[in-house]
Amino acid sequence: MERETILFDVSDHVATITLNRPEQLNSFNEAMAIDMSWAWETVRDTDDIHCAVLQANGDRAFSTGIDIKAGGDWFTLDNVWNSFDPGMALAPKFRHRVWKPVVTAVHGMAAGGAQYFINESDIVICSDDAVFFDPHANVGIVSALEPIGMLHRGVPLGDVLRWALMGNEERITAETALRLGLVSEVLPRQRLRERAREIADSIAGRNPKAIQGTVRAIWESLEMPRPTAIHNGLSYTQIGNPPPDEVRLPAERRETQYR
């Protein structure tokens, strides 16, 4: 399905969402925020969808954040108390509560607000030409929401601050992103989409209720003290798991690894 700013396709229980503003380097505007909200709500509410892949069209960029030329009137309102974070519409977890796994494939430039997509993805892989940077400092505006999300992903504080404070001149390469834990796998560009789909297909073939319970328990634990998180996780195992005598091991086991 094609909307104004994205492509949306479902096959074999996997939804593929493709950012489709390549001439604007997949920067987001109000239309993309609306389209992404629709996409995440569709993934969340469609039982036949077990997993999602997020990727982007164009050679140069996964996304370069907000479309400055489009202006910010749609989220910066005259009444400051009614203004809102535009990234809330783009990301699956905090606002849309999508507990189905999201596999994100990053290529080229991922700048500034691109982190909205990345920070709330479950598995992030990238091509060997990917670069991550934050232009906020160059134009004299506060960078807060995107780096806070990076901290929640476990990226070390010093590296997050370096990314946020040094502007366009500081580029996190794919190799460094792997070392920092920002991504879990680096591949040649020509293999990126294929690998994202392989991961999604593997996940989509498993018990979808168990997978969603796993994703939800882990993400919610980030907001809880450890004893509360353990108690919450235990309740999810009791809600989502079948009785022990109904658990069946797979007929075949195939080991894989990522680098």
Determine the pLDDT at residue 74: 66
Answer yes or no: is pLDDT of 193 > 80: yes
Answer yes or no: is pLDDT of 25 > 60: yes
Determine the pLDDT at residue 32: 95
Architecture of domain 6-204 in CATH?
Answer: Alpha-Beta Complex (3.90)
Answer yes or no: is pLDDT of 255 > 80: no
Residue of 65, 63, 1, 4 lying closest to 31 (CA atoms): 4
Residue 61 near residue 110, CB atoms below 8 Å: yes
Predicted confidence (pLDDT) per residue in 94-114, tens digit? 899 999 999 999 999 999 999
List C-alpha distances in Å: 139 to 12, 134, 165. 44, 10, 11
Q: What is the pTM of this model?
A: 0.91
Structure tokens at 4: 């104004």
List C-alpha distances in Å: 170 to 160, 161, 214, 218. 11, 11, 35, 31
Q: Domain ranges in the chain? A: 6-204, 208-246
What average pLDDT does the structure give for the chain? 91
d(CA 126, CA 119): 14
Least confident of 74-88, 94-108, 147-161, 208-222: 74-88
Helix segments in the chain, DSSP class H: 30-45, 114-119, 145-152, 157-165, 174-180, 189-204, 208-221, 226-240
